Amino acid sequence: MKIVKRAVVDSTINDVLFGIISSGLCRYLDMRESKALRNGIQITGIAMVNLRPHTGLQELSQLMTGDPGSQWGNKFGVILLPVYYHGSESDPLEFVKRSKAMIDKKKLSLEAPFSYKFMDSIIYLLGPKLASMLKYRLLCNTTFTVSNVVGPQEEITLAGNLVKYIRPTSSSLPHAITMHMMSYAGIADMQILVAKDVIPDPRVLANCFQDALLELKAAAEAALKS
């Protein structure tokens, strides 16, 4: 993923991750659909965005000292992530470039802060029950969830036992696909949870993501050499 990141100017690991997801989903649709799909068909996912200006110990110290500008509890906004179906691409890096352009626009927009403020207002004015119903409707009208979390940069031990990997996941979401990626000691690990009635062959989907990453890596290496 770092090789692909270097090949696309000013890109991030999140851009590369979403490029892999976009390419992998297009591959999977090509394999599953018997009829030719029209370019531009949209599949929409969601991602949670941490709105706190500082993370880690700095934020915790502000909370513990009673800083009036700090607030306990989760502070997450939601952004929509559209994936558009594209057939065969001569340059696989186009998936990453399109993902970067889309995510850059999301960063400049007020989508995440507005979604947080809106849900916070609904909870305060109308109660958490209505807020949870609205959030559930949002999930029902999107297809997938994706997250990327930075974990420990060095290997850790638990009760004297070396932790080999950390794999977070979630369940009971009304989504066809749930994807959580977490990096630990320099290795990124992505977990994929699917609704079997929508995606009966999750291993094929996982292979599509793997093939997409390998194709992007080969294209990135060729681009860096040229």
pLDDT given at position 52:
73
Contacts of 223 (CB under 8 A, 6+ apart): 7, 93
pLDDT per residue as tens, the chain (226 positions) = 999 999 999 999 999 999 999 999 999 988 887 566 777 789 999 999 888 765 555 555 655 565 555 566 678 899 999 999 887 777 899 999 999 999 999 999 999 999 999 999 999 999 999 999 999 999 999 999 999 988 888 999 999 999 998 888 888 889 999 999 999 988 889 999 999 999 999 999 999 999 999 999 999 999 999 8
Residue 69: the pLDDT is: 57
Contacts of 218 (CB under 8 A, 6+ apart): 92
Query: Could you tell me the two tokens for 207?
Result: 């292979």
- pLDDT for the residue 60: 57
Query: So what's the pLDDT on residue 33?
Result: 73
How far apart are the C-alpha atoms of 31 and 40, rounded to whole Å?
17
Strands of 144-150's sheet in order across: 76-84, 42-50, 144-150, 177-184, 187-194
Terminal-residue alpha carbon distance, the chain? 19
pLDDT for 168 equals 87
The label of the residue with tokens 């080969």 reads 218
- The CATH architecture annotation of domain 2-225 reads 2-Layer Sandwich (3.30)
* pLDDT score recorded for residue 32: 83
